[in-house]
Structure 1
Amino acid sequence: MKPTDLIELIESHQLIEKELIFERHTFLKTAGSSDTNIYFVEEGSLRVYVMDKNEERTIRFGYKKNILVSLDSFLTEKPSEFVIQALKKTRVKVIPKKRFMEFIHRDEANLKLWVKILEDLVIQQIEREKDLLIASPKERYERVLRRSPILFQEVSNRHIANYLRMTPETLSRLKKS
């Protein structure tokens, strides 16, 4: 299921509580806070990162027609070290956990949808871990370019390089080659 299919389903079941606008560089979630909302990005772009000593480590992006969530906090309802920050002015639709959980438990098809979403997230995480452990910078760049070409239009090279675990100069050289 594509994110656009999922959001149509969510909208048709009136799960969206509100719309929020975040100015550039503002935070949807800070480290040490809990956040059980699901965010559907209408416009703009976001990043999810954690701090490693004094360095930000970008782990995910969200841009138009993407869904973003602090999954550990969503599942446990406990504080998380994930930070969600707007990279540019961003408008999101907010789906509260309570409404979403009522929806997925309403019938078996909705529960199967939730399982599929979680399976997709696990597969994405496994691919990312493999990339970071064994793939060369060029292979990481090419895979992200194939999977998410729009990312390079929505997010600065500095943040993409951080996500790919390379310097902005290395990313620039790879883009030119």
Structure 2
Amino acid sequence: MDPLNELILAIEKAGLWESEKTFQRNEFVKVNGQIDLNIYFIVTGCLRIYIQDESNEHTIRFGYPKNLIAALDSYLSEAPSDLVVQAIRKTKVKIISKGKFQALIQSSPVLHLLWQNLLEALIFQQLEREKDILIQSPAKRYARVLARSPQLFQEVPNKYIASYLRMTPETLSRLKR
């Protein structure tokens, strides 16, 4: 079993989900400038994390069913974050607070290691994505994301995928043909 599934199973067994919430399409889970100390388990639907500058939204990450998602900078620093978490479509999540989650992973060296492994995998994924954005052509970025996450093209509107790939929606449409 992979680390994510083992952590989810441990939360389930301990009965630590504090609440369930359904977000409607385009509803915000977390807004810019807010502190968010929760981890969200996506039951159904799809979330995106983005940051906005003066004129554009820059999508950083997507979350699908059976994924954990968080505004990780706020979660770790306990400070306000510029990240925005938004439902792409109607999305149901289970929620666990940092306090309960930390108590759980501190209760077991195995769970602590699983969390560390998940964070390391996330860091590696972000570094790979950053390299792609900096040095790969739009066509190669598209091909790599298609190979890595084919569900993205089933779940997410093209305008968000284009933002994630740092290209215009028109460029993405050309590449998809």
Q: Displacement, 1:108?
A: 1.0
CA RMSD of aligned residues (A): 1.1
**CA deviation vs aligned residue, 1:68-94 (integer Å, no higher than 9, x gap):** 100010001110000001111110010
**CA deviation vs aligned residue, 1:119-163 (integer Å, no higher than 9, x gap):** 011101100110110011111111111111111111001110111
Moved runs in structure 1, 4+ residues, more than 4 A? none
Contiguous gaps of at least 5 residues in structure 2: none
> Residue type of the partner of 2:152?
L
Partner of 1:89: 90
Matches of residues 2-17 of structure 1 in structure 2 within 5 Å?
A: 3-17=4-18
Quick one: distance in 2 between partners of 1:124 and 1:65? 18
Q: How many residues align?
A: 176
Partner of 1:154: 155
Q: Does structure 1 residue 144 correspond to structure 2 residue 165?
A: no
Partner of 1:112: 113
Calculate the TM-score normalised by the size of structure 1.
0.95
Q: Displacement, 1:2?
A: 5.5
Quick one: distance in 2 between partners of 1:111 and 1:49? 28
Q: Displacement, 1:8?
A: 2.2
Q: Displacement, 1:11?
A: 1.1
Contiguous gaps of at least 5 residues in structure 1: none
Partner of 1:46: 47
Contact residue 4 and residue 118 of structure 2 kept, 8 A: no
Q: Displacement, 1:39?
A: 0.5
Identity value in percent: 53
> Residue type of the partner of 2:24?
E
Quick one: distance in 1 between partners of 2:152 and 2:7? 20
